Amino acid sequence: MNHAIIGANVMDRLVKCPGSLKCGSGTLKQKDEQRKNNPKNYYTKNRIECNRPTELGMKIDEMSKNLVRTHFGAKEKMVYTSDFDYADLEIYTQAKEYADHMINIRKKMAKCVLDPGYDVSKYIQNIDDVEFRVSFNPDYMAVSESGKIVYLSDLTTGVSDSRNKMFQVICCAVGYMEYHNECERFICEVFNSKTKEVRICKFDKEEIEAYRDDIIIPTLEKVREALSSPKQEIENYRNRNSWCSGFCIFKDEGCCACKNADRVENDIAIQLSFDYKHMSQKDLDNYLDLWW
């Protein structure tokens, strides 16, 4: 038996290339036991994840959340960081900026949660030799007193948008909506601590439902179909897209989708973008308008 854990961080790739899901060996139960015993090595290691920028990003992510936890009197989680990292100005500065941002958002909202998880595995059925889990996890979620306005934020330290981070946040909005029927509006944010850019889109509930029904669920059905097909036919489910050059999970195994003439994209029109270190009054006014 194999397993496949599908997070929001790979959904954009699966939309563009349904045949690009790589399964792990063993059952989901066995994988969960592995996480308990060694959380740092829970995620599969490969050439995409094992590099300096990714490791740095994981440290910034964890440190920023620990700064928020400390602010609210909660216990820190030390998996990827150590006391030594807090002396690294590059890491600490970026972490502090995102932490301050999360704390400021909390002042506008009734409550906030770090790393919430929304399981939507019901969108895909297991096949004979693969167990699926679909879980969408934003870095940060805040909700208004009424529960009608939801703020979802994801941290990135990347210098390009090859991985379409906004779509990842939209997936998290879909996950949240499944558990909170009272929500009506979403503010979806990508916070880049490296480039100092914030990208924001706002959506009504109906728009998020459309992403779910028209894109996410059909994509998961194609992924299941791809893994159910004979191995020699898997290339039929792969397409050239923005992940090919740097993030193709099958590049080392001879995937040829990147040679196709047609390029598949799923871009999101960003409604508001600004440098959070140098906000103009217009940027500030537009940002405040997001809150309806």
For 54-97, what is each residue's pLDDT tens digit? 889 999 999 999 999 999 999 999 899 998 999 999 999 999 99
Helix (H) or strand (E) holding 90: helix 89-108
CB 241 within 8 A of CB 17: yes
Reported as type and span, the H/E element at residue 60 is helix 52-71
pLDDT tens series, the chain, 292 aa: 999 999 999 999 999 999 999 998 999 998 888 877 766 655 555 555 666 778 899 999 999 999 999 999 999 998 999 989 999 999 999 999 999 999 999 999 999 999 999 999 999 999 999 999 999 999 999 999 999 999 999 999 988 888 899 999 999 999 999 999 999 999 999 999 999 999 999 999 999 999 999 999 999 999 999 999 998 899 899 999 999 988 888 888 889 898 887 888 888 999 999 999 999 999 989 988 887 6
Contacts with 281 (C-beta within 8 Å, 6 or more apart), sequence order? none
Angle between helices 217-228 and 8-16 in degrees, nearest 10: 70
CA 255 to chain centre: 24
Torsion angle (degrees, nearest 10) of CA 93, 99, 101, 102? 170
Return the CA Rg of the chain: 19
Instruction: List, as one string, the DSSP characters of 184-229.
Output: -EEEEEEEETTTTEEEEEEEEHHHHHHHIIIIIHHHHHHHHHHHHS
Q: Do residues 164 and 242 lie in contact, with contact meaning Cβ atoms separated by under 8 Å?
A: yes
Question: Tens digits of per-residue pLDDT, 204-224?
Answer: 999 999 999 999 999 999 999
